[in-house]
A = this chain, B = another copy of it.
């Protein structure tokens, strides 16, 4: 695994194919994981405590059962979320962050904080852009 195509992102002009900028670099996988519509929301909820499937679905507005399942499976496959099944009737499944998942805490909250801080400015920019486009 030491031959992964991971390079320094500095001096990009001298390394046009560096790291994630190379379509074949595995680092792209991480970007595509974070760049998932639901990943951030699911992980922020799991960051504070273990939660059940139905709990997550109730708290995340607009997510379908299919999408939640898909997101959780992807996160589990990436080693960010762990899934614990209780052999009871009815079944009970608990999701939590793995230690690796918890290392994303600061990043997740940075995204949350930036979003909340700058949403108004972004909306204003959109409004302005759209008005100009109408001319």
Chain A interface residues (CB < 8 Å from chain B) = 1, 4, 6, 9, 12, 16-17, 19-27, 29-37, 39-41, 44-45, 48, 58-62, 76-80, 100, 103-104, 106-107, 110-112, 114-116, 118-126, 128-130
Chain B: minimal CB distance from A75 (Å): 10
| A123-B45 contact given A31-B115, A110-B110, CB 8 Å threshold | no
Verify A126–B78 contact, CB threshold 8 A: yes
Chain B: minimal CB distance from A99 (Å): 10
Neighbouring B residues of A45 by C-beta, 8 Å:
12, 21
Task: Tell me whether chain A's interface is mostly helix, strand or loop, or mixed.
Answer: helix
Verify A17–B125 contact, CB threshold 8 A: no
Verify B79–A22 contact, CB threshold 8 A: no
Neighbouring B residues of A48 by C-beta, 8 Å:
12
Verify B30–A37 contact, CB threshold 8 A: no
Can you list 12 A-B pairs, Cβ within 8 angstroms, ordered by A?
A6-B116, A6-B119, A23-B61, A31-B111, A34-B40, A34-B115, A77-B125, A80-B125, A100-B122, A103-B114, A107-B107, A107-B114
